[in-house]
Amino acid sequence: MNLSDSEKGFLKKFIPISAFIAGLCCFSPVVLVLFGLSTTTFAASLANTFYGTYKWLFRGVALCFLLGALGWYFYKTENVCSLDAVKRKRQKIINLTLTALIAGILAYIVWLYVVVEYAGIFLRIW
């Protein structure tokens, strides 16, 4: 599948933002420690609460953001504003949506389980 320049630009803009939003459950305590607003003990407790209880909320907000951005992209850039246009561009919509979801999941995994994890280990939060 060949992506157009506008599709690549869309993916480069919105995939990292959605991965960042999804990873805020564990990145927020790291930021609090980096700015000196929290102790590492409180940050670890906050991270446990956010990741244990609210991780699906963060992931859901990121998914809604990404799906909303996809909808906006198709509406504004691809002029998909009717069911006939959806039927005509069905394959393009499916391909870009799947590409965005897969890239978003991979970016989330790298962001949360590599970057934020090592930042938390470096700061001795976990």
pLDDT tens for each residue of 65-89: 999 999 999 999 999 999 999 999 9
Residue with tokens 């934020």: 116
At residue 1, does pLDDT exceed 80? no
- What is the domain count for the chain? 1
Look up the domain containing 79 and give its range.
5-122
What span, in angstroms and rounded, lies between the C-alpha atoms of 29 and 47? 6
Q: Of 14, 41, 43, 42, nearest to 31 (Cα)? A: 43
Is pLDDT above 90 for 126? no
**pLDDT tens profile 45-70:** 999 999 999 999 999 999 999 999 99
In this predicted structure, the answer to whether residue 2 has a pLDDT above a threshold of 90 is no
Q: Taking the model in full, what pTM does it have?
A: 0.90
